[in-house]
C-alpha cells in the first residue's frame, strides 16, 4: 500500500474517532467525586474525591482561574471516596491562600484535620501554610459565596450527607450525590423537596441498576430511573448521572445508559395524563466533562 493510501486510512480513522463520543473512546474515568461549579464571579468545589487532582492541575497550570484563591470547598459528607483527594489539592501548601471549608456536619473542622495526619499523610494539618477557615452551616438555610446562593438539603445515605442547591444568574444546579433517594414522594421529601424543584441541572446518583438497587438497600446509592421519575414530576431540565460503580467498565455504563433510554421512552409512551410529560435531556457523567447552563 502506498503512502497516500496509509494517509487516507489515518484520516478516515481520525474522523471516525471524532464521530463517537468521548466516553466511548476514553471511558468514563475512575476518579471519585469532585465537582467544580462556576458562576460569573464565583468558584465552588463540591467534595474532594480523587477528581480534585485533575482540577488542581488545571488551576495550577493557569487554566482554572485564580491560583491564589480564595477557594471554597463544600463537603457533602466524609466517606473516603469524597475526601481522598484533599491532601493533593496544592492550594493547602501555598502560604496565605484562603481556603474556606463548608459543611453541615458539626465536627467539620475535626473531620478535615483528621485527613492531614501522620502516618496517613506526611504533612500534618498544623503545618499547612494556607489560611484555612471552617464554616458550619445550618441545614436548609441559605448561605452565600461570591454571586452564588446555596442551600444544603439532606440526602439519603448511611452517614449524614447533605446535597446542595446552587443558584446564580437565574440558573440552578442541584447536587444529589451520594443518595439512595429512598424518599421520593413530595410528602416523604418534606423540607428537602426544594432540592428537586426549579432545577436546570441535577447531578444524580445512578450507581445501580433497578435490581441492584433492591439488592443493595441501605447502601446509599440510587438508580437512574429514580432520577428520571423525579425529573418528570418536578420539571427538572437536565440530569447528569454519576457516582458510577468503582468497578464499572465502559461497557457496563453504556448498558446502564441503554436501560435508562428504555425507561425514559417507556415513561413518555405510557403517559396517561392529559398534559404531555416535560421532556428533558440527560447523560452519564465522565471525568473532565463540562456543562454550560
Q: How many other C-beta atoms are found inside a 10 Å radius of the C-beta of residue 195?
A: 25
Q: In this chain, which of 178, 180, 192, 205 binds Zn ion, going by CB under 5 A?
A: 178
Closest CB to Zn ion among residues 81, 192: 81
Closest CB to Zn ion among residues 43, 179: 179
Closest CB to Zn ion among residues 277, 289: 289
Grid coordinates standing for 37? Answer: 461549579
Site pattern 132..171 for Zn ion (x: CB under 5 A): ----------------------------------------
Q: With b meaning 16 or more CB within 10 Å and e meaning fewer, what string describes 79-111?
A: bebbbbbbbebebbebeebebbbbbbbeebbeb
Q: How far apart are CA 2 and CA 8, in angstroms?
A: 10
Closest CB to Zn ion among residues 156, 178: 178
Q: Does 79 contact Zn ion by CB under 5 A?
A: yes
Specify the stretch interacting with Zn ion by CB under 5 A; choose among 3-11, 80-88, 102-110, 231-239: 80-88
Specify the stretch interacting with Zn ion by CB under 5 A; choose among 67-75, 138-146, 178-186, 232-240: 178-186
First and final C-alpha spacing in the chain: 49
Minimum CB separation from Zn ion for residue 82, in Å?
Answer: 5
Task: Let me know the angle formed at the C-alpha of 170 by 261 and 225, rounded to the nearest 5 degrees.
Answer: 20
- Give SS3 for 118: coil
Q: Does 81 contact Zn ion by CB under 5 A?
A: yes
Binding-site size, Zn ion (CB under 5 A): 3
Task: Let me know the angle formed at the C-alpha of 20 by 178 and 9, rounded to the nearest 5 degrees.
Answer: 150
Minimum CB separation from Zn ion for residue 290, in Å?
Answer: 21
**Comparing C-alpha atoms, which of 148, 156, 176 is closest to residue 239?**
176
Minimum CB separation from Zn ion for residue 177, in Å?
Answer: 7
Residues that bind Zn ion (CB under 5 A): 79, 81, 178
Amino acid at each position: 500500500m502506498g503512502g497516500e493510501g496509509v494517509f487516507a486510512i489515518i484520516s478516515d480513522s481520525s474522523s471516525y474517532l471524532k464521530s463517537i463520543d468521548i466516553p466511548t473512546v476514553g471511558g468514563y474515568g475512575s476518579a471519585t467525586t469532585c465537582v467544580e461549579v462556576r458562576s460569573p464571579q464565583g468558584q465552588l468545589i463540591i467534595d474532594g474525591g480523587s477528581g480534585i487532582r485533575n482540577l488542581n492541575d488545571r488551576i495550577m497550570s493557569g487554566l482554572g482561574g485564580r491560583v491564589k484563591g480564595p477557594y471554597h470547598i463544600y463537603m457533602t459528607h466524609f466517606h473516603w471516596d469524597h475526601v481522598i483527594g484533599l491532601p493533593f489539592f496544592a492550594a493547602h501548601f501555598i502560604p496565605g491562600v484562603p481556603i474556606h471549608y463548608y459543611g453541615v456536619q458539626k465536627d467539620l473542622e475535626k473531620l478535615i484535620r483528621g485527613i492531614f495526619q501522620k502516618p496517613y499523610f506526611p504533612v500534618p494539618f498544623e503545618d499547612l501554610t494556607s489560611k484555612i477557615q471552617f464554616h458550619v452551616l445550618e441545614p436548609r438555610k441559605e448561605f452565600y459565596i461570591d454571586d452564588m446562593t446555596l442551600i444544603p438539603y439532606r440526602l439519603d445515605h448511611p452517614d449524614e450527607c447533605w446535597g446542595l442547591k446552587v443558584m446564580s444568574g437565574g440558573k440552578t444546579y442541584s447536587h444529589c450525590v451520594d443518595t439512595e433517594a429512598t424518599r421520593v414522594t413530595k410528602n416523604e421529601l418534606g423540607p428537602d423537596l426544594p432540592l428537586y424543584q426549579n432545577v436546570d441541572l441535577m447531578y444524580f446518583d445512578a450507581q445501580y441498576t433497578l435490581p441492584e438497587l433492591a439488592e443493595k438497600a441501605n447502601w446509599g446509592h440510587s438508580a437512574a430511573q429514580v432520577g428520571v421519575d423525579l425529573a418528570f414530576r418536578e420539571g427538572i431540565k437536565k440530569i447528569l448521572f454519576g457516582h458510577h460503580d468503582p468497578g464499572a467498565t465502559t461497557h457496563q455504563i453504556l448498558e446502564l445508559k441503554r436501560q435508562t433510554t428504555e425507561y425514559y421512552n417507556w415513561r413518555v409512551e405510557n403517559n396517561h395524563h392529559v398534559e404531555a410529560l416535560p421532556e428533558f435531556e440527560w447523560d452519564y457523567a465522565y471525568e473532565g466533562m463540562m456543562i454550560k447552563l
